[in-house]
């Protein structure tokens, strides 16, 4: 990989009939690729997702941060909230992005993990169910895996569900969803964290957990062309 491919670059991702903006970063010698699916009311500019992505890049993983809604859809959703829980739409867009990445020279050979927050977790799981040959791991942060519904039983990829200890309803939904997932599943509870992991130190725990599971399932040895 060249130095140019290592830098973050703005991309336009064709997915499910839409053209979606994103930021793709592929470090030299990286070991895998993490595709982020943000939650309701968020965007690829989310400070939390960007902080996590930067840490994963430092640990040797490529990242794709992208918006799953078009600008027009986002403007409507701000007023009506009609798209943020449209899980089939979000999942189709994320799956389209994973397919697009397979055509990109810098990313095609990298094993993929999907990383979803809030409603994006359901999209991350559905994509794993629909593209088992490409998605090797799913990570959820404060997610709603229950919204993946029947797809849960088709997810054979290892799954890490990270939930705040002070987010009891989401914890209950994650524990229920974990029993329906077909693959190896771990629910990690972060003490003192609420839904957005805004409390000091809680996002650092998320990052540590994510790197541990990525190292385990996406491989320690760097991949080279």
- Indicate the pLDDT class of residue 5, thresholds 50, 70 and 90: very low
Structure-token pair, residue 139:
């990570």
Q: Among 164, 172, 136, which residue's Cα sits nearest to residue 48? A: 164
The whole domain housing 76 covers: 3-217
Q: What is the pLDDT of residues 51-72, one digit of tens each?
A: 999 999 999 999 999 989 888 8
Question: Residue 76: its pLDDT value, please?
Answer: 80
Chain centroid, CA 192 distance in Å: 23
Report if residue 225 sits inside a domain: no
Report if residue 224 sits inside a domain: no
Report if residue 223 sits inside a domain: no
How far is 87 from 149, CA to CA, in rounded Å?
10
Question: Residue 94: its pLDDT value, please?
Answer: 97
> What total of structural domains would you count in the chain?
1
Q: What is the mean pLDDT of residues 96-107?
A: 95
Q: What is the pLDDT of residues 11-38, one digit of tens each?
A: 999 998 899 999 999 999 899 999 999 8
129: three-class secondary structure by DSSP: helix
Q: Which CATH number characterizes residue 200's domain?
A: 3.40.50.1820
Question: Residue 206: its pLDDT value, please?
Answer: 97
Average pLDDT, the chain: 90
Question: Residue 61: its pLDDT value, please?
Answer: 96
Pair 132, 111: CB distance under 8 Å: no
* Alpha helices (H) in the chain, listed in sequence order: 3-6, 47-58, 71-80, 87-101, 120-130, 168-178, 202-217
């Amino acid at each position: 990989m060249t130095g140019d491919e290592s830098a973050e670059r703005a991309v336009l991702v064709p997915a499910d009939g839409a053209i979606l903006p994103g930021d793709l970063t592929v470090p030299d010698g990286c070991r895998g690729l993490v595709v982020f699916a943000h939650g309701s009311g968020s965007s690829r500019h989310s400070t939390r997702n960007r902080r996590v992505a930067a840490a994963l890049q430092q640990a040797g993983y490529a990242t794709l941060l992208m918006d799953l809604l078009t600008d027009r859809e986002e403007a409507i959703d701000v007023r009506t909230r009609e798209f943020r829980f449209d899980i089939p739409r979000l999942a189709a867009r994320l799956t389209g992005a994973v397919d697009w990445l397979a055509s990109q020279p810098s990313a095609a050979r990298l094993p993929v993990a999907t990383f979803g927050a809030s409603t994006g977790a359901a999209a991350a799981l559905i994509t794993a169910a629909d593209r088992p040959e490409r998605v090797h791991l799913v990570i959820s942060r404060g997610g709603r895996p229950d919204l993946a519904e029947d797809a849960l039983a088709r997810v054979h990829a290892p799954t890490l569900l990270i939930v705040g200890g002070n987010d009891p309803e989401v914890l209950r939904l994650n524990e229920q969803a974990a029993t329906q997932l077909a693959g190896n599943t771990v629910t990690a509870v972060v003490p003192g964290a609420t839904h957005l992991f805004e409390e000091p130190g809680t996002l650092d725990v998320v990052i540590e957990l994510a790197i541990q599971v990525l190292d385990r399932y996406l491989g320690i040895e760097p991949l080279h062309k």
